[in-house]
Amino acid sequence: MQRVTILGATGSIGASTLDVIARHPDRFTIYALTAHSRVDELAAQCRQFRPQVAVVGSAAAAEKLSRLLRQQDIATQVEYGEQALCSVASADECDTVMAAIVGAAGLLPTLAAARVGKKVLLANKEALVMSGQLFMDAISGNGATLLPIDSEHNAIFQCLPAAYGRAPAAHGIARILLTASGGPFLHRPVESLETVTPEEAVAHPNWVMGKKISVDSATMMNKGLEVIEAHWLFGAPASQIEVVIHPQSVVHSMVSYADGSVLAQMGNPDMRTPIAHALAYPERIASGVAAVDLTRIGTLQFFAPDFGRFPCLKLAYDVLREGGTAATVLNAANEVAVDAFLARRIGFRMISQVIERVLSRLSSQPASSLDVLLEQDKLARESAESFITS
Ligand code: NAD
Ligand code: MG
């Protein structure tokens, strides 16, 4: 029996993870569920899955959750705050941690899981993007297992040799091809992007996801973060990671080998496939997702991305080449800019401008410690905020 903690249980990935787990009561039990503020949803999840611990973001939320659980005679212990997130991610009572908090807020609990050698299922790409080598060292230095949940990285993982050692050349790998849907604005005139609304930006053509990643998909910063994520997960330099636009989201990514073979993983766009793959790895279990019907889809298209339309994608390649804390700064500035866009404080095209400005103000430092990363994250947020309000 695998005992699972889900960080970010009330989100899109959290709900899909519980959906898969509910199909296999013989394999998985829930040790802990966490949410930031959606207490009613978390209470409903506690009723169904009976975790030992539930963690929320504040004392007020904890009080409300405790009351709801008491009324229903549910014995789940309620805690709150970052330290509690780290405890449930590293507790002896759990084997596997689904890291599905959105943004930098997920870094410390995910690191806590890595540092005690858990099986870490990584959806929270921002945590890896902002901490890079430090995160990978925490995994390898403590005997932890890292399995990618992001559909592209999970696809690449499936297309790699079984004993892949994060060295593409040693395995005859020429390139990693990350597919991207192109998001909702792939064909919209660039000039008109200034006036798009948050509602239009979060309406992704193929995937239903949280708001932040949906906006990131519209700017293609999501693909930029994924290029950086692929660099750390698979040990490939920027020059060997290529983005290919594929509007149907059926091929989830590919690996191109020296002999001319290109291996692809295909499936319907439903996150339960990569989640089930990682939960059961190296076995295969049912996820609730039907196999893709290629005769119904008929046509699969692929083309190169337009960096002029998607400046965020270029910024991500730039920071990956630069190294150091540049990716930490990019990630933090992006989080602030996306929040400001969703709050209608800035227009859509300002998102990349905010990030570019912050990157030009904060020069990259060696990413030598967690303190340095957290300090750069904070400075980047302040810088982005001051640019937005000026
Ligand atoms: P979401 O917004 O639907 O859910 C986010 C979860 O994080 C919620 O449970 C929320 O309570 C929690 N959370 C938010 N802020 C928090 C904070 N400050 N402290 C603690 N918890 C907090 O997001 P999502 O779409 O499920 O995405 C989660 C992560 O997975 C993101 O990093 C995203 O990039 C990644 N991801 C998502 C998808 C997808 O299809 N949704 C695909 C690939 C990767
Ligand atoms: Mg993805």
What number does the ligand 1 atom closest to the CA of 225 have? Answer: 34
Ligand 1 shell residues, CB under 6 Å: 8-14, 35-36, 38, 57, 100-102, 105, 123-126, 150, 207, 209-210, 213, 271
Q: Give pLDDT, residue 360.
A: 98
Ligand 1 centroid vs 12 CA: distance in angstroms? 7
Q: Give pLDDT, residue 379.
A: 98
> Which homologous superfamily is 2-148 in?
NAD(P)-binding Rossmann-like Domain (3.40.50.720)
What number does the ligand 1 atom closest to the CA of 213 have? Answer: 34
Ligand nearest to the CA of 107: 1
What average pLDDT does this structure show over 346-372?
97
Specify the amino acid at residue 72. Answer: Q
Q: Which two tokens stand for residue 214?
A: 């949906």
Q: Is there a contact between 302 and 119 (Cβ–Cβ < 8 Å)?
A: no
Nearest CA to ligand 1 atom 25: 210
208: pLDDT strictly greater than 90: no
Specify the amino acid at residue 49. Answer: F
pLDDT in tens, 224-245: 999 999 999 999 999 999 999 9
390: pLDDT strictly greater than 90: no
Q: Give pLDDT, residue 205.
A: 83
What number does the ligand 1 atom closest to the CA of 271 have? Answer: 40
3-state secondary structure the chain: CEEEEEECCCCHHHHHHHHHHHCCCCCEEEEEEECCCCHHHHHHHHHHHCCCEEEECCHHHHHHHHHHHHHCCCCCEEEECHHHHHHHHHCCCCCEEEECCCCHHHHHHHHHHHHCCCEEEECCHHHHHHHHHHHHHHHHHCCCEEEECCHHHHHHHHHCCCCCCCCHHHHCEEEEEEEECCCCCCCCCHHHHHHCCHHHHHCCCCCCCCHHHHHHHHHCHHHHHHHHHHHHHHCCCHHHEEEEECCCCCEEEEEEECCCCEEEEECCCCCHHHHHHHHHCCCCCCCCCCCCCHHHHCCCCCECCCCCCCHHHHHHHHHHHHCCCHHHHHHHHHHHHHHHHHCCCCCCCHHHHHHHHHHHHCCCCCCCCHHHHHHHHHHHHHHHHHHHHC
Q: Give pLDDT, residue 224.
A: 98
Q: Nearest 5°: phi and psi at 198?
A: -55, -35
Q: In which region does residue 235 sit, left (phi positive, over 0), alpha (psi from -120 to 50) or beta (all else)?
A: left
pLDDT in tens, 45-89: 999 999 999 999 999 999 999 999 999 999 999 999 999 999 999
pTM attached to this predicted model: 0.98
Q: Give pLDDT, residue 264.
A: 98
Nearest residue to 8 (alpha-carbon basis) of 69, 56, 40, 65: 56
Ligand nearest to the CA of 249: 2
Q: Give pLDDT, residue 32.
A: 98
Ligand 1 centroid vs 303 CA: distance in angstroms? 29
Ligand 2 centroid vs 79 CA: distance in angstroms? 31
Mean pLDDT score across all residues of the chain:
97
249: pLDDT strictly greater than 90: yes
Nearest residue to 350 (alpha-carbon basis) of 359, 361, 341: 341
Ligand 1 centroid vs 215 CA: distance in angstroms? 13
What number does the ligand 1 atom closest to the CA of 211 have? Answer: 2
Ligand 1 centroid vs 307 CA: distance in angstroms? 27
Mutate to test the pocket of ligand 1, among 6, 7, 10, 12 (most ligand atoms within 8 A of CB): 12
Nearest CA to ligand 1 atom 5: 11
Cα–Cα distances (Å) from 217 to 163, 180, 191, in that order, read: 32, 9, 18
Specify the amino acid at residue 304. Answer: A
CA distance 38 to 6: 15
What number does the ligand 1 atom closest to the CA of 14 have? Answer: 26
Ligand 1 centroid vs 123 CA: distance in angstroms? 8
CA distance 204 to 257: 32
Ligand 2 centroid vs 77 CA: distance in angstroms? 33
Ligand 2 centroid vs 291 CA: distance in angstroms? 19
206: pLDDT strictly greater than 90: no
Nearest residue to 178 (alpha-carbon basis) of 120, 129, 236: 236
Ligand nearest to the CA of 183: 2
What number does the ligand 1 atom closest to the CA of 9 have? Answer: 9
Ligand nearest to the CA of 226: 2
Using a pLDDT cut of 70, give the percent of the chain over it. Answer: 100
The domain defined by 323-390 carries CATH number 1.10.1740.10: yes
pLDDT in tens, 153-162: 999 999 999 9
Ligand 2 centroid vs 137 CA: distance in angstroms? 23
| Helical axes 370-389 vs 326-342, angle rounded to 10° | 40
207: pLDDT strictly greater than 90: no
Ligand nearest to the CA of 220: 2
Q: Give pLDDT, residue 313.
A: 98
Domain ranges of the chain: 2-148, 151-269+294-309, 323-390
